[in-house]
Amino acid sequence: MLSARERELVSSELIHRLQPLSLRARLVVEGFMTGLHKSPYHGFSVEFAEHRMYQPGDPLKHVDWKVLGRTDRYYIKQYQEETNLRAQIMLDVSGSMNFAHDKRPTKLEYGRSLAAALVYLLLGQRDAVGLGIFDETLREHYPPRSALTWRDMLWSALEHAEPGGTTAIGNVLHELAEQAGRRGLIILISDLLDEPEKILSGLHHFRHNGHEVLVFQVLDPREIDFAFDREARFEELESNRSLVASPWQIREDYQGEMGAFLESIKAGCARHRVNRHLLTTETPLEDALIAFLTQRQRRM
């Protein structure tokens, strides 16, 4: 069990500063997600659910011999059924993901923490999980595997993922959709700061191939409300362009453009039956994981 101080730590932005990355994932998942990712069906796997009376034909290896010794009755151990999910996590490491304000974690730090927690959760449930790291190209690709030893490999890749260059989300999604094997779950973690139609075309490619798609759109709160309070130089992280401006003079226009952009992403995802969640770097990681688990339970 986590102490009150550990729970406070996990709920704060400090979780993104912890090293190693594996500690962030363990604290989040073990502290808040234990027991949520369970199938409603009973089978014989490794997670105990309950007992039931022995029936002719049941494998003897599932008899609970300790209960037999105490009660002189034959009971079978029932377990939660394995989901056998194949998931591919896609993490955007383009330059724009390196933005942060007011000492918050960058979008990339938040995304790495979320991806690492998902890896821990999925592999802990005997699901297969893979990882893609991309900016304008697919920089690294690890196919889905279910072995627990795969966890450290994926965590290491996430730990060393550094912000890269420009964004080409749509192209990368199309590339991976061509490589993806049998149907599974695609999890995209990105700020989606690219041309909406190209992004939606890539997401539709996965849906057309029968994959389930879950998108976590991660933004800094200031990217949404533009609540800067003094004149500043605004730099585009994926180019060398910059602009000196008084925020209060352009805030209304900015918010209008951002609102239209977010609405186009939201509407497009709904049109293609893609489950999209808008997060900020202030959103507790456990809230994002609950969104994931809620979707999985609806699919079972």
Q: What is the pLDDT of residue 83?
A: 46
pLDDT for the residue numbered 250: 73
Choose the weakest-confidence range: 27-36, 114-123, 164-173, 248-257. Answer: 27-36
Position with higher pLDDT, 300 vs 103: 103
Instruction: Give the lowest-confidence range in 21-30, 124-133, 160-169, 276-285.
Output: 21-30
pLDDT (tens digit per residue) in 218-251: 999 988 987 777 766 666 656 677 666 666 777 8
Least confident range of 28-42, 61-75, 121-135, 175-189: 28-42
72 vs 214 pLDDT, higher one = 214
Kindly state the average pLDDT of the residues 191-201: 94
| Cβ neighbour number for residue 55 with a 10 Å cutoff | 8
154-181 average pLDDT score: 90
Query: Mind listing the pLDDT tens digit for each residue in 254-290?
Result: 889 999 999 999 999 999 999 999 999 999 888 888 7
**What pLDDT is attached to residue 284?**
87
Interval 52-98: pLDDT, tens: 565 566 667 667 777 677 777 766 664 444 446 899 999 999 999 99
pLDDT at 299: 56
Higher pLDDT: 18 or 159? It is 159
pTM given for the model: 0.76
pLDDT for residue 42 is more than 90: no
Q: Which residue has the higher pLDDT, 82 or 20?
A: 20
- Structural domains of the chain, ranges and CATH numbers in brackets: 4-37+84-299 (3.40.50.410), 42-80 (no CATH)
